[in-house]
Chains A and B, each alone.
Chain A
C-alpha cells in the first residue's frame, strides 16, 4: 500500500512539475532551437534584458499587480470585517456566498462580464480597466484569507480593549488590525500573484498601451517559441513561487510579528 502511495505521489508531482522543470532547464539552453539541447548558457536572459517591448509589458504587469492588489486588500478586508463582525444583518449568508463565488467562476465569464460592464459604462479599455478587473478578482481571495484570521481571533481581545476605554476606532487600529496584519499581507501577495499571471481576464479588458507580460508572452508564442520565452517564463514562475510561499508562510504563522 505504501509503495503504491509513493508511486501515485511521484506520478502526481511529476505530472504537475515536470513541464515547469523542462521549461526552466531549457531557458538555460545555448541553442536557438527550443527542443534541442545545445549546452548551458544564460544568453537568452541577455536577450530578454534587451527586449524593450517585453520589459515594457513586465512594467505594466508589475504596476497593475501592485495597484490591483492594494485595492483588493482594502476592499477584501472591509468585506471580511463586515461579514465577520457586522452582526447578523439581513442577507449575510447571501453576501458570504457572493464573495466566494468569483473564486470558482470561470475566468472567461468574469472577463466577458467585466468587458460588457466597461463597454456599457463607456470606459476606455486600458490600465484603469485592468486594475479594476484584477482588483475584483483578488478581492474575494483577500476576504477569504482575512475572514479566516478574524474568525480565529479571540473576541475577548477586542472586548478587553473596549473595556479599557478604547472607542471602536482605537480598538480596530491598536488591536484588530495588528493582529490580522499577517493575513492582510498574505492576501495582498496572493492578489498580486493572481494579477501577475492572469491572461484570460486581461485579454478581455485590456486595451492598446496596456499589454501585460502574460499577454506579450502569449502573442510571441503564437509566432513561434524561442528560448527567450522560456527565460521570461522562468522568471515569472520564480516570482510567483516566492510570493505564494511568502503568503502561505504568513497565514500559517501563529504568532504576530
Chain B
C-alpha cells in the first residue's frame, strides 16, 4: 500500500483541517473528524453551527475552502457527489415525486440486471418493513413511511458511510422514539457507518456511539454520551446535553489528590476536572442531595426553595442560594419533598461534579 498519504489516525472517513467559508462567514472551521467502520456518530448543535454544512461537504455538494476528506486511503475532496461512495438521507427526504417507491429505491442501482435490481429493491423494502409498497407514489405515503423509503433509497448502493440530515426531524414525537430504536438496530445489523446530524440532545444520546458537539463551525468536543455529560469541555457542551448548574469561581491551586477546589461565592467547592485561574463547576440537578437539616460534615450549602414543579417521575426545584444565585435541583417524588419557602441544605458528591475552564 502506498505510504505517501498524509499520516493520521486510521479511519473509514477522515476529515482533516476541513474549512468552509461563505464570504466572510466561516460555516466550518479547521475541523478534524474520524469515523470508524461501523460507528454511529451524531453531530449535535444548534441551527447555524455548521453541522449540515459539514454533511454537505462530505457528500460533495459543497467544496471545502481548506482541508481534505478521505475515505479509507482515498482522497475524495475533489470528487463530485456522484462519484463518492457515500450516500445521504435528506431532511426533506427528497423523494422523486414523479416515480414510484420502487423506482425511487432503484434509482441508484445502475449496472444491475433487471432481475437483480428487482431483488435488491424487494430486499430493501423488507428491510424497512414496506413490503408491497413498491408501486405506490411517495405522496400517497405517511410521513413515517416516506422516511423509511428515503432510508431504503440511501442504503440501496450499500454505502460505506451513510449521512443522515435530521432523519427523524419531520416525525411526530411518539413515532420519533420508536424510529430511533429501529434506526439504531438497522445500523447495528448492516454495520454501515452512520453520521447523523441532529439538534436534539436526547436523540443524540439515544442513538450515537459518539457525539460530536459543534459550536460556531468548530467541533467543541467529541466523545461518548457519558463523557460529554459527565466531563463537558466547556459551558456550551455542559448546557446543551441537559440541565446544569454552572458555578463560577477561581482555582487557588491544583489539588494533587485528584479533586480540585474552586473558590466560589458560596465558599470553596470541590470537583473533579481541572482549570487554571478562572473556572466553572458543572453540577447536574440530579446529583444534588436535599436535606432539611445541615449535614454532619458542615459542607452542605443552605438555600431557600423558591419554586417546585411536579414532573411525575421527579420534582424540579429552584433554590435561592446564599449568594443570590438560583440552583436547579431534581428530587425524587415522595411525601417528604420540601415546599416553597422552606430552607434546605444541598450537598453533592464532589466526584460527580466537574470543574472546567471558564473561557471557551
Contacts and interface: CB of A to CB of B under 8 A. Distances in A.
A156 B94 contact: yes
B87 interface: yes
A162 B110 CA distance: 13
B47 interface: no
Contacts of B153: 160, 164
Contacts of A160: 88, 90, 94, 96, 153
Nearest to B61: A159
A162 B81 CA distance: 6
Contact of A163 (B87, B91, B98, B139): B87
Interface in B78-100: 80-83, 87-88, 90-92, 94, 96-98
A178 interface: yes
B78 to A, nearest CB: 15
Contacts of A174: 107
Nearest to A156: B94
Given A154-B92, A163-B88, A179 B61 contact: no
B96 A163 contact: no
Contacts of B87: 163-164
Interface in B108-132: 108, 110
B250 interface: no
A156 B92 contact: yes
B156 interface: yes
B246 interface: no
A156 B157 contact: no
Interface in B143-167: 153-154, 156-157
A161 B110 CA distance: 12
A117 interface: no
B59 interface: yes
- Most chain B CB neighbours (cut-off 10 Å) among A164, A174, A179: A164
Nearest to A179: B98
Interface string B152-195: 01101100000000000000000000000000000000000000
A162 B108 CA distance: 9
Given A156-B90, A159-B81, A179 B108 contact: no
B82 A157 contact: no
A223 interface: no
Given A159-B61, A159-B81, A255-B139, A165 B94 contact: no
Interface residues of A, number: 20
Given A164-B107, A165-B108, A159 B94 contact: yes
A175 B95 CA distance: 10
Chain A interface SS verdict (over half) = helix
Nearest to A158: B94
Contacts of A103: none
A165 B157 contact: yes
Contacts of B96: 157, 160-161, 175
Given A179-B97, A179-B98, A256-B98, A167 B82 contact: yes
B90 A164 contact: no
A178 to B, nearest CB: 5
A18 interface: no
A166 interface: yes
Contacts of A167: 82
B82 A166 contact: yes
A255 B107 contact: no
Contacts of B107: 161, 164, 166, 174
A171 B81 CA distance: 12
Nearest to A178: B98
Interface string B14-55: 000000000000000000000000000000000000000000
A180 to B, nearest CB: 11
Nearest to B92: A156
Nearest to B103: A174
A154 B108 contact: no
B73 to A, nearest CB: 21
A256 B97 CA distance: 8
A174 B110 CA distance: 13
Nearest to B108: A164
A163 B82 contact: yes
Contacts of A256: 97-98
- Most chain B CB neighbours (cut-off 10 Å) among A159, A163, A171: A163
Contacts of B90: 156, 159-160
A255 B96 CA distance: 11
29 contacts: A154-B92, A156-B92, A159-B59, A159-B81, A159-B88, A159-B90, A160-B88, A160-B90, A160-B94, A160-B153, A161-B107, A162-B60, A162-B61, A162-B80, A163-B82, A163-B88, A163-B154, A164-B82, A164-B87, A164-B153, A165-B83, A165-B108, A166-B82, A166-B107, A166-B108, A171-B82, A175-B96, A255-B97, A255-B139
Interface of A: 154, 156-157, 159-168, 171, 174-175, 178-179, 255-256
Interface of B: 59-61, 80-83, 87-88, 90-92, 94, 96-98, 107-108, 110, 139, 153-154, 156-157
